[in-house]
């Protein structure tokens, strides 16, 4: 199994911010974010190698479930010591893990940067995963419909059944996203609205990767979210 990198501090605090990296991201991109987190918050960041997502659909499913279970177990362990308030932040693929974990563990608020909704569709149609898709078709005779069925338990649209209905979502989507097609992100917004799940949506014109880079280097939006967390307590 692949190695998960955990960067953590102040986990004795009652309020914990969970940062989950995007695919092909770097844990160092979150350095300024981590340094801006107030002392009365703990934080726990999860980074993983690119190979978590590969052309083998069964291996990818196992990889994703392993990371999801690791995060779930870690948060439950923290809760077992004393009740915590969890806040999740995820970019791109990291947002997928945030949404699934939020249905398994009570989470107060989630901030998502350029997320998707259905994993198979995002993979199949997204610009950055075309080589993996072609390999998957050639080696595993995969189709989109088969992939949707196989990846159901690692796709956000299979969840939103339990705790996540009480979670508040803050979402940034890009109108120029071709990595996760914008139609996929719009489906997430429509679902949250239809389910009356509290959410706030903002838009950017920047491409997917540039928006992620901007969020890491210019952390105004992250700090604004932190201030909002503090003021609402």
- The answer to whether position 162 is within a domain reads yes
Number of structural domains found in the chain: 1
In a domain, 55, yes or no: yes
Lay out the sheet containing 85-91: strands in order across.
5-9, 41-47, 15-20, 85-91, 109-113, 168-174, 199-204
The answer to whether residue 232 sits within a structural domain is no
Tell me the per-residue pLDDT of 25-81, one tens digit each, with 9 for 90 and over.
888 999 999 999 999 999 999 999 999 999 999 999 999 999 999 999 999 999 999
In a domain, 233, yes or no: no
Cα within 13 Å of Cα(5), Cβ side: 10
Q: Is residue 177 part of a domain?
A: yes
Do the domain assignments include residue 184? yes
Q: What is the domain-level CATH number for residue 96?
A: 3.40.50.1820
The boundaries of the domain holding residue 32 are 5-227
**Region 161-167 average pLDDT:** 91
* Element holding 5 (H helix, E strand): strand 5-9
Rounded-to-integer distance, Cα 164 and Cα 88, Å? 12
Q: What's the whole-model pTM score?
A: 0.96
pLDDT at 233 over 80: no
User: DSSP state, 196?
Assistant: T
| Cβ-proximal residues to 36 (8 Å cutoff; 6+ apart), any chain | 219, 222, 223, 226
């Amino acid at each position: 199994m692949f190695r998960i990198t955990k960067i953590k501090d102040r986990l004795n605090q009652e309020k914990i911010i969970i940062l989950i990296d995007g695919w092909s991201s770097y844990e160092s991109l979150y350095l300024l974010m981590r340094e801006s987190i107030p002392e009365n918050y703990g934080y726990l960041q999860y980074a993983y190698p690119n190979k978590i997502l590969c052309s083998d659909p069964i291996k990818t499913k196992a990889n994703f479930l392993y990371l999801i279970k690791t995060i779930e177990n870690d948060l439950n362990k923290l809760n077992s010591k004393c009740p915590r308030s969890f806040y999740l932040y995820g970019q791109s693929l990291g947002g997928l893990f945030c949404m699934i974990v939020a249905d398994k563990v009570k989470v107060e608020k989630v901030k998502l940067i350029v997320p998707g909704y259905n994993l198979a569709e995002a993979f199949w149609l997204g610009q950055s995963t075309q080589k993996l898709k072609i390999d998957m078709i050639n080696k595993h005779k995969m189709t989109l419909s088969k992939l949707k069925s196989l990846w159901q338990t690692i796709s956000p649209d299979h969840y939103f059944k339990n705790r996540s209905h009480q979670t508040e979502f803050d979402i940034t989507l890009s109108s120029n996203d071709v990595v996760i097609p914008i139609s996929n992100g719009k489906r997430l917004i429509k679902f949250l609205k239809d389910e009356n799940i509290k959410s706030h949506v903002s838009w950017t014109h920047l491409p997917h990767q540039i928006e992620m880079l901007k969020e890491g280097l210019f952390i105004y939006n992250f700090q604004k979210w932190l201030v909002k967390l503090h003021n609402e307590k």
